[in-house]
Structure 1
Amino acid sequence: MAEKRRKYDRDFKIEAAALLESSGRQVREIEAELGIGQGCLSHWRRELAEQGSPVEQAEKQEEKERIRQLERELRIVRQERDILKKAGGHLLANKRMSYQFIEEHREEFPVARMCTVLGVQRSGYYAWRKRPLSARKMANEKLTEEIREVHQASRETYGSPRIHRELKAQGKACSENRVARLMREQNIRAKTHRKHKVTTKRDESHPVVANLLKRQFQAEQPNQIWLADITYIDTYEGWLYLAAVMDLFSRRVVGWAMAERINSELTCQALAMAWRQRQPSSGLIHHSDRGAQYTADAFQTLLRGHGIEPSMSGRGNCYDNAPMESFFGRLKTELVHHHVYRTRQEARTSIFGHIEGFYNHWRRHSALGYLSPVAFEQAYLRAQFA
């Protein structure tokens, strides 16, 4: 029966190599003496040299353990950082909101870690989790979700007053204070306003007309007073200019035009659109600033041709055309400042969608009893034929 091949453990190999080093004898002599195969001792020496001595191996193992520990600590720090970023207002809120955050993110972060970062006890969280929601809490959660839906549908432009009116129109009973409180708790905010920049300049050679409105921004019916102004939109290709005409009665944008140059052709196109869409009767007033695009002969001739009486703001006074300034301010706040337009066409499409797809038909206006411009006009017409 053939002899089984002997297996040598690490200690044997170390001692054999040490014997070779200390004796000064030949490798073959030591191999024969120990009864090991030819070439084994040389192979073991190379293997042990690569692995290092027991002390070196222990040091390497300690180093690996230190690295693993540092990696674990780094993972913890990163988790805590990510929890802090996502928690936001939960750190300053009550325990219930912290528990709610933990519940929503328990698949993403360890519960124990979130409890530590948010400063709550794990036992408290698990007790909260077992506790049934009160009717009030469930109602608040449902209302909060409805608030989010309205906020998103408004393109994040509505604050608590408009959201409250929208919910009320949907037949949902709630107070404005309750809506405002839930919005604060969930950090739901309307987009903020930026300072407006003046774009039109007066041409001193053009005559101006009197201010017929004198800041009395009231109209009794549609097509009684139109307001007009120009603003600019930045794109990678350069400026895109928007001229708009608004019916003061309903705040509806009835005419608009966009172009890469600001001139009287732009304002004439906006007025022409308004005329085509509305076909107003006599007595209409058109109010604008004193910019050269409105005092130009071409524009004034168009006004006279349609029997429209011109009115102009005082020199450099934006408050004399406040509703138009407000519209452009909201356009920038709710749309333009949240986009980076690569081309003028991209900006045109975006602005068209905002005016015709959102503002005129859906955006609730505080001056209109929180109706949209179109809804306000429809209510007026129904009342006329009632």
Structure 2
Amino acid sequence: MSKIIFNEIQIKLLESNPNVDHVSERSISYTPEFKIKAVKENLNGKGPGQIFIEQGFDLQVIGSDKPNQCLKRWRKTFKSLGEEGFLTERRGKGSFGRPSSKNLSVEDSLKKAEARIKYLEAELGILKKVRRTRKAGIEEETITKTEKFMIIEQIIRKYGITRMVTYLCNAAGVSRSGYYAWLKAESLRNARQESDWKDYILIKEIFDKKKEKAGALVIKMILENDYFVVMNHKKIRRIMRKFNLVAKIRQINPYRKMAKATQEHKTLPNLLNRNFDQGEPGKAFLTDITYVYYGAAQPAYLSCVKDASTREIVAYHLSTNLKMDIVYDTLRKLSESLDGIVHPEAILHSDQGFHYTHPEFQKRVKKMKLTQSMSRKGNCWDNAPMESFFGHLKDEVDYLVCERFEELQVLIVNYIEEYNNNRYQWSLNKMTPAQYRSHLLAA
């Protein structure tokens, strides 16, 4: 099923095309004649996109991949069944076939009505707009009241079941009065849709001239200076979202841009060079930041320092943001853990993240008499033991059950305590990190 959801004006625009048989929020049913014509033209060398454009379809509305998908399926049907395969095809015509010429009995009419109601329930369950949260990677299914009203109105118009309004509203989870209020406001909606359509034509003209590389702010400036039209940038963004206009603009990394502009953030050489096991506690420290989620997909950030030789977590700090304080607090806790006893060749190794290239962070590391080392760009293996710890933490800690940040803190503290003192590791001669530290000190 297509990810594109058609709005009212797009549905009406598509239905006005003579090559279209029926349109729903997510799908288009084409006429058999158009399918046959499209397959023949494609077999003669004409591209799918060109065929659809010549027949009056806007690829920005239906999706640029739609012609290829349709022609691939239609060619297969044409090869196996010929033209007859399209003329007798049931796809897109619902579950009830062609209208029967027979006079149905009352019992048969009831059965047919029940079948239509079941079809509506299935359609309401399928036609949902899927929204993916970027950070948590969790899918939530939501459908607005307006979309439900549109579905009810289309089903009633399609099947002529005008006496089933109350049942349909209950099945969709909306009020009957709300549905009738929505119907009453149709003239206002049409006026707004007409206004949006006129603005869309103007915006799309600029969008196409700029070869799809103009965002809302660029379009706003062009409208004001070249077309003498004043339009709010929020409205431009709304219309671009509504009609699936996505600008092909390269996104700039703000941290990298800032570092280049100020020339203050300096990367450092890889002094550790993956020699993690130094044979002495406190000689090589690894540090990094990872994220965990709690409650309703709320992010928290964990900064840790790990002794590369003993695998022990010697300092950590959990925060709700990624401000510089997260690494400053981690350094402070590391200093408290060392209690003034710093190995003369001690190294603090990290990646080339913004926090670790910050001049203030580097200043504080030097003040602690630590030598800073950094992984090569884009090479996670240069800090593998730290990444390994984060992987074990996310596998073994069910942090998503935490509703509050305080609960997450307790869970993280308990896990690190368990990891340091009770978690045996095969590569540490079957000892825990704390036991292995004592073993190295004794040796």
TM-score normalised over the length of structure 1: 0.45
TM-score normalised over the length of structure 2: 0.39
Structure with higher Rg: it is: 1
